Chain A
Amino acid sequence: MGEAVAFYTIAAFILGFAVLVVTARETVHSVLFLVLDFLFVAALYVLLGAEFLAVIQILVYAGGIVVLYLFVVMLVNLKRPPEAYQDPQRHGRVGLLLALAVLAELVAIAMWTSGTPTTPMPAAQAFPVTGNTEVVGWLLYTRYLIPFEIASVLLLVAMIGAIVLAKREL
């Protein structure tokens, strides 16, 4: 009961701030609402008993990535957006398409997972390690090793790409 109340409260805050992110007039305000959103997502992780994920969520997203967003927003003059982005019609159409695609994906996932009985996560099995952080680390290096490595290669590629873009001649 208490858990459900906490979940719906947090979920309401997450959705509310998400709406504010896209409706705020000032871009810096949008970014700030995004931070609040991330903090509430972290609260959701705490509710699930995943303290490690919650703390990493705050550290990486709220404290790291969004600070860089804020940098960009503050340094780039957004008062007058370039001509190409001033056509509200075109914006609306692309946005609608994207939103529909995401909705279709979510519905598909919901239908696909609701039928099958939830596979017991390894949490039910015996781990060779105990503790939140240890279990995450153990899973990353055994069961999810390949996705983990692929993700790190992707990040590396993105980093090299950014350096190449920023420095035309190396």
Chain B
Amino acid sequence: MIDSFVVPLLKILVVLNATLVGVTYMILLERKVIAWAQSRLGPMRVGPYGVLQPVADALKLMIKEDITPVRADKWVFTAAPIIAMVPALIVYAVIPFGPEVSLFGRPVTLYVTDVNVGLLYIVSVASVGVYGIILAGWSSNSKYPLLASLRASAQLISYEVAVTLTLVSVILVAGSLSMVSIVRAQESGHVWFAFLQPMAFVIFFIGGLAETNRAPFDMPEAEQELTGGFHTEYSGMRFALFFLAEYANMIVVSSVATTLFLGGWLRPFPNVAFLSFLGIIPSWAWFLLKSFGFLYVFIWIRATLPRYRYDQLMRLGWKVLIPLAIINLVVTAIVKVMVH
């Protein structure tokens, strides 16, 4: 009873809350890092160094007036932010934050579940998230959001191909679709897959930037051209849901990249004995540290690089990343067969 019901529920509760808190603080981190990159201070008023800014933001968004345009399609307009948010959250079910640990004298795994098609589950759930953006643009019944949502969905579909192909080459190396087994494969293989699959790593990272609509691929919200993007007509909490979904997706991409390429919860050099003092930092902390590294790079890139033009973005996706991913996959398969 406790093992089959209470523990999973508690885990889901912890993961969901941690994600939402993480997302709100990601927004603060982004504002701070970009401010520092531009020689500003960023939010400083609410709490010491502005650490309570997310609380103030959340309060403000919740008490704001919620406007539905008269000509909008009400049902779809209401459903779109939810459709964007839910996939971004349920992906965390299969992300392993750590191995089995003992907590209060009871073995507890630091992941909600380990399904044998974990990686495919993430890809498929993420592919459903596109609907939130498309439907938001369409149901607003307004031309700029529609244009933005068409751009966004074209971009997401194009980059999804490249990203999924890189995942296949990782699956080939690991020999499993389960997220936990992929980390274990890196442990027993004594190497992070970032070194075995450098090409896949780079393509995954670029594709991840594009799939989360981050700079330099933040085409769907190019303010100068689209007056804000697919969520132009949204206000209050519904707008906040889109915002949260975007940051939750960033955390997903970072977590997946950490699991697949940087050894997940493993400490650096898990096979080198004299570095075992690194083990005093718990496994989940290593995981969070690596994911945080990715998130920081995301923000850093946004502060550094200008936005791509739309045709350049499509050319990069279809003519560079997808062929490279296919070549990488074929080479990986050939090497795998030859080694066997």
Q: What residues make up the interface of A, taking CB atoms closer than 8 Å to B?
A: 26, 28-29, 32, 35, 51-52, 55-56, 58-59, 62-64, 67-68, 70-71, 74-75, 131-133
Contact = CB atoms under 8 A, between A and B. Distances in A.
22 contacts: A26-B73, A28-B135, A51-B115, A51-B116, A51-B117, A52-B117, A55-B117, A59-B120, A59-B127, A62-B124, A63-B126, A63-B127, A63-B128, A63-B130, A67-B134, A68-B157, A70-B134, A70-B153, A71-B134, A74-B134, A75-B150, A131-B116
B131 A67 contact: yes
5 residue pairs, one from A and one from B, having the closest CB atoms: A63-B127, A59-B124, A58-B124, A55-B120, A55-B124
Contacts of B121: 55
B138 A58 contact: no
Interface string B66-87: 0000000101100000000000
Q: Is the interface of A mostly helix, strand, loop or mixed?
A: helix
A67 B135 CA distance: 10
Interface of B: 73, 75-76, 115-117, 120-121, 123-128, 130-131, 134-135, 138, 146, 150, 153, 157, 177
Given A28-B138, A52-B120, A133-B177, A74 B146 contact: yes
A32 B126 CA distance: 17
A74 B150 contact: yes
A103 to B, nearest CB: 32
Nearest to A70: B134
Contact of A67 (B124, B157, B177): B157
Contacts of B157: 64, 67-68
Contacts of B126: 63
A70 B134 CA distance: 8
A169 B44 CA distance: 61
Contacts of A67: 127, 130-131, 134, 153, 157
A131 B171 CA distance: 15
A71 B120 contact: no
B117 A32 contact: no
A28 B126 CA distance: 21
Contacts of B150: 71, 74-75
Contacts of A56: 120, 124
Contact of B123 (A28, A35, A59, A62): A59
Contacts of B130: 63, 67
Contacts of B125: 58
A26 B139 CA distance: 12
